[in-house]
Amino acid sequence: MVLSSLIFFPILGMIIVMLMPKDKDNLIRYTAVGISVIPMVISFWLTYDYFVNFSGTAAMAYVEGPFAWIPSLNVNYHLGVDGISVPMLFLTGLLSTISLIASFSIKIRVKEYFAFFLLLEAGMMGVFVALDFFLFYVFWEIMLVPMYFLIGVWGGPRKEYAAIKFFLYTLFGSIFMLVAILIMYFTSEPHTLNMLELIEHGGAMSYTLQMVCFIFFFIAFAIKVPVWPFHTWLPDAHVQAPTAVSVILAGVLLKMGTYAMLRINWPMFPDALQALSFWIAVLGVIGIIYGALVSLAQTDLKKLVAYSSVSHMGYCMLALAAYDSVTAITGVMFQMISHGLITGALFLMVGVLYDRAHTREIAVFGGLGSKLPVYTALMLMFSMAALGLPGMSGFVSEFMIFIGAFSSLNQYLVGISVLGVVLGAAYMLRMFQNVFLGEFNMAKWGGLTDINGRELLTVLPLAVLTLAVGIYPKPLADLMLATLDNLVQIMSR
C-alpha cells in the first residue's frame, strides 16, 4: 500500500483542491502543500526503510500486485521499487513539495494551478513505481496533460508555443514507445506486459527485432532526457514555464528518460545495446560539449541553466553507454540525483531574481554581490556545484562517470568529453561574474531585496543535500549498489 499511497495521495489532494471555493487562494495553497507533504514524508520513510531492509538485495521491494486490471489483455496493476527507483521517488517527493512552496507567487487561476500540479506529482510517482507496461504508459502520458496546461496557462510570453511543442514532441516519442510495447507484447508467449518478465523475454528476441524495439524505445526516452539532437523542446519549455514547473521539468521529468532507459531500454535488449553503445556515447559527448558551448553564448539566465541541462544530461548518456561498468552506472544515478538537486535549485534561484527584477537578461545585472549577500553566496554555491567542484554532489557523479566510462568506452571519446568540465566552468563563471561581480548599479537595482524566508525554505534543503551527497556519497551508493550490480549483469549478459 506504500507505493499506491504515493500515487493516490496527490490525486486525493487534487480532488480536494478542486472542491474548494475558487477565491480562497491561500487556503488552496496551504492545502496543496500540506497534502504534498504526505507523499514526501512517505518517500523519505521509504528511502530510509529500503536502505535499512532491502539495500542488500536486487529484488523488487514493496511489491503490490499484480492485480488483474484488464484481464483479457493481461494488463495488471503491478507496482514495485528497487535501488534505481527509490532515489527517484525521494527526489520527486522532495521537489514536488518544494515546487509547491515556490508556487506561492502564482497569482492567477490558483485553484487550477495547484490541482494540475498535484496530478503531475501523481503521474511522476506512478512512472517510477509501475512494473506493468500498460500502467507505465498510462502514467507517462497522464503527466503530459497537467504539464501542457501548467506551461500553456501560467507560462511566459511564448507559453502556447512552448506548451504545444513540449506536448507534441513527447507524444511523438510516445508513439514509438507504444509500437515497441506492442511488439514486445505480441512476441512474448504468453502475451504479457510485465516488465520483469519482458526483461527475460527481450534477451531472447531476434537481433533485428531487438534493434527495432531498442531504437523505438530510445527515441521515446531520448526526447525526454533530452539527448542531442532531440533537445530543442527543452529550452523553450524551461524558459516559458513558471519557476516551479521548470524545477519539476529539470528535476524529475528529465530523469524519467534516463530512468526508463535503465529500467526498460537497456536491460531488455542486450544485443542491440552492445551494438549501439558507441553511438550512444557519441550522442552523449556531443550533448556535453554542444550544451556547454551553447550555454556559453546565452544572454538569458534561465536559458543558460536550461542548456546546461543538455550538457549535464550528456554525461548521463555517456555513462549509460558504458553499461558494463558499475562505476559508470552508479555515476548515472548520482548525476540524475545531483542534477535534480542542483539544477532544480538553480531554477529556483533564477526565479527568485526574476520575481524581483522582472528580467532575466544577464547583461543588465552586475555587482549584485554587494547588495544581496545571502542570495549571492547560495548562487555561488550552486554554480560551483554545477561546474563540478569537489565537495558537491556534481563532482562525485562526474568523477564516477569519467572513471567508469574511461575503463569501458573508447578512451579518446571520454578524453574529449572532459573538455565539458572546462566549458562548464566557463559558462557558470561568466554568468556569475556578469551578474554578481563588478560594479553595482545602485540607481537601477537599489530596490532589490535579498532572498526571503519562504524562498530560503525552498532552496536550503537542496543545498544541504548537494553538500551531503558531495561530502559523504557512501549511503546513497550503498542503497543502489546491489540493484546496480544486478542490473549491470543483466545489461552485459
Partner 1 sequence: MKDDPRFSRFFAYLSLFLFSMLGLVISDNFFMTFIFWELVGLTSYLLIGFWFEKKSAADACKKAFLTTRVGDLGFLIGLMMIAFYCGTFNFAEVFTIIGAGSVPPVMVTILAIGVFCGAVGKSAQFPLHTWLPDAMEGPTPVSAIVHSATMVAAGVYLVARTMSVFVASADASFVVAIIGVITSLLAATIALVQVDIKRILAYSTISQLGYMIMALGLYGYDSANDIHSPGFYAATFHLMTHAFFKSLLFMGAGSVIHAVHTNDIMEMGGLWKKMKITAPAFLIGSLSIAGFPLTSGFFSKDEIVATTFGHPVFTVLTLLIAFMTAFYMWRLCFLTFFGKPRDEHRYEHAHESPKTMAYPLIFLAFMAIFAGWTGIPALKHGFASFLYHSEPYHPHADWMNYIVSSLVGLSGIGLAYLMYMKKTISPDVMMARFKPLYNLFWNKWYFDELYQATIINPIMAFGRLMWKFDSNVIDGAVNGTAVLTMWWADLKFWFDKWIIDGAVNGAGFIVRMMAAVLKYLQTGRMQFYMIFSMVFIIVMILLKFEIAHIDLDWPMMTALFIAAIGLLSVAARFVSEENQESENEK
- Binders of partner 1: how many residues, by CB under 8 A? 45
- Number of CB atoms found within 10 A of residue 75's CB: 20
By C-alpha distance, which of 336, 158, 152, 376 is closest to 250? 336
Cβ of residue 87: shortest distance to partner 1, in angstroms? 23
Q: Which of 12, 179, 429, 456 binds partner 1 (CB under 8 A)?
A: 429
Give yes or no for residue 390 binding partner 1 (CB under 8 A). yes
- Length reported for the chain: 493
Question: Pattern 56-95, binding to partner 1, x per CB under 8 A?
Answer: ----------------------------------------
C-alpha cell of 482? 546491489
Give yes or no for residue 383 binding partner 1 (CB under 8 A). no
Q: Give the Cα separation of 88 and 295 in Å (integer).
A: 27
Query: Which residues, numbered 160-199, are part of the site for partner 1 (CB under 8 A)?
Result: 165, 168-169
Q: Which of 68, 374, 422, 457 binds partner 1 (CB under 8 A)?
A: 422
Question: Pattern 284-323, binding to partner 1, x per CB under 8 A?
Answer: ------x--xxxxxx-------------------------
C-alpha cell of 394? 556534481
Q: Give the Cα separation of 170 and 123 in Å (integer).
A: 15
Q: What is the DSSP letter of 300?
A: B
Q: Which of 49, 430, 445, 456 binds partner 1 (CB under 8 A)?
A: 430
C-alpha cell of 298? 546565452
Contacts of 440 (CB under 8 A, 6+ apart): 366, 367, 368, 369, 370, 371
Strand 75-81 to 61-70 pairing: antiparallel
Contacts 24+ apart (CB under 8 A), 357-360: 357/445, 357/448, 360/300, 360/301, 360/302, 360/303
Binding piece for partner 1, criterion CB under 8 A, among 24-32, 37-45, 146-154, 231-239: 231-239
Contacts of 468 (CB under 8 A, 6+ apart): none
Residue 51 class from Cβ within 10 Å (0-12 exposed, 13-18 middle, 19+ buried)? middle
Give yes or no for residue 419 binding partner 1 (CB under 8 A). yes
Question: Alpha helix (H) ranges present in 228-300?
Answer: 233-240, 243-248, 254-260, 266-268, 270-296
> 192 or 325: whose CB is closer to partner 1?
325
Cβ of residue 304: shortest distance to partner 1, in angstroms? 11
Could you identify the residue written with the cell 550528456?
Answer: 314
Cβ of residue 469: shortest distance to partner 1, in angstroms? 14
Q: Give the Cα separation of 42 and 48 in Å (integer).
A: 10
* Residues facing 79 on adjacent strands: 64, 130
Binding piece for partner 1, criterion CB under 8 A, among 135-143, 211-219, 254-262, 405-413: 405-413
> 83 or 420: whose CB is closer to partner 1?
420
Cβ of residue 24: shortest distance to partner 1, in angstroms? 40
Q: Which of 274, 407, 441, 486 binds partner 1 (CB under 8 A)?
A: 407
> 104 or 161: whose CB is closer to partner 1?
161
Query: Which residues, numbered 339-368, are part of the site for partner 1 (CB under 8 A)?
Result: 367
Question: Pattern 431-470, binding to partner 1, x per CB under 8 A?
Answer: -xx--xxxxx------------------------------
Q: Give the Cα separation of 60 and 487 in Å (integer).
A: 12
Q: Which of 215, 426, 460, 482 binds partner 1 (CB under 8 A)?
A: 426
Q: Which of 2, 209, 357, 421 binds partner 1 (CB under 8 A)?
A: 421
Which uninterrupted H or E stretch holds 67? strand 61-70
C-alpha cell of 462? 537542496
> 232 or 452: whose CB is closer to partner 1?
232
Which residues contribute to the site for partner 1 (CB under 8 A)? 165, 168-169, 229, 231-233, 290, 293-298, 367, 369-370, 384, 389-391, 395, 402-403, 406-407, 411, 414-415, 418-419, 421-423, 425-426, 429-430, 432-433, 436-440
